[in-house]
Structure 1
Amino acid sequence: MTPLILQRLIALPYLILGGWCLLAPHMVERLTLNPAYQHLSATSALLLGCFGAQAVLGGLFIWFSRWTRTTFGVYAIALLPFFGFNYWFVYEVPIFNRWMALDFVSNAAMLGLSLWGWRMMGRSETGAPVS
């Protein structure tokens, strides 16, 4: 496993889930929002589509950028608030339903991959064997 492969694995949730929001916004809305919060309108489709487009754009930047050890570390730290978001809007203010587990699992995987990349890049900078 190389840092580039880890980086590209980090990009995949953005490309896959963002693409889903972009291409099938009403399906995402029906599956992830509790019924009381569903609008299934042209406006909600537009907003989810815009969200998806931004996610795909982010995924493309992750895929094609050159990451350093600092990038992996900062990205890991930047992911932490999303766990609070997932908890809050699934359990405290239940706008989202259990399908948000997809987001949680994706965030957890990206966090693990980021920490792995950070550690791997640190070893390569010190000349230690990378595994």
Structure 2
Amino acid sequence: MTPLTQQSAPAAISSARAIARKLQVLQALIFLGLGGWCLFAPHTVERLALKPDYQHLSATTALLIGCFGAQAVLCGSLMLVAHFTARTFLVFGLLASLPFFVFNVWFVWVAEMFTAWMLVDFAGNLSFLLIGIVGWRLLRDETEPT
């Protein structure tokens, strides 16, 4: 097979679209996995992620962590069925991940409320940024639907 740059334009776009779709599914699975964990096992998440001084293990914390997980599951589900364009990847990669980086920095390293397990969340957020940039680069030459 010839390198992507030497393929005909339609084949290169088709190949780029296929790779972008796989990245989109990967991103959705990360949301579904981590969100599902928060939704279905909120106290496990609380025990592992929060330092003991900040754990309440109450119905209220289960509700709040579960709501966070439900939003992530919703987002992951939409990612599975949506048609991502270059702009979609860029928005998810940059605009959607930056507030989470601020959250991670503040509550992990400044307020020191979270354990090292919160680095799993940080890794997920980093993957969103990287997938967003790579997806945008793959699709930036594709014509967007109107």
TM-score computed with the length of structure 1 as normaliser:
0.90
Which one has a bigger Cα radius of gyration? 2
Task: Return 5+ residue gaps in structure 2 as ranges.
Answer: 1-17
Structure 1 residue 22 displacement after superposition: 0.8
Deviating 4+ runs (over 3 angstroms): none
What's the counterpart of residue 37 of structure 1? 54
Question: Structure 1, residues 88-123: CA drift from partner, whole Å, max 9, x if none?
Answer: 101110111111100111111121111111000014
What's the counterpart of residue 128 of structure 1? none
**Mapping for residues 96-111 of structure 1, pairs under 5 Å:** 96-111=114-129
Letter in 1 for 2:130: G
Aligned equivalent of 1:11, options 3, 12, 28? 28
Aligned sequence identity (%): 51
What's the counterpart of residue 38 of structure 2? 21
Equivalent residues, number: 125
In structure 2, what is the Cα distance between the partners aligned to 1:47 and 1:108? 24
Task: Return 5+ residue gaps in structure 1 as ranges.
Answer: 126-131
In structure 1, what is the Cα distance between the partners aligned to 2:77 and 2:89? 16
Question: Structure 1, residues 27-84: CA drift from partner, whole Å, max 9, x if none?
Answer: 0000000111100011111111111111101110111111111111111112122112
TM-score computed with the length of structure 2 as normaliser:
0.81
Question: Alpha carbon RMSD of aligned pairs, Å?
Answer: 1.2
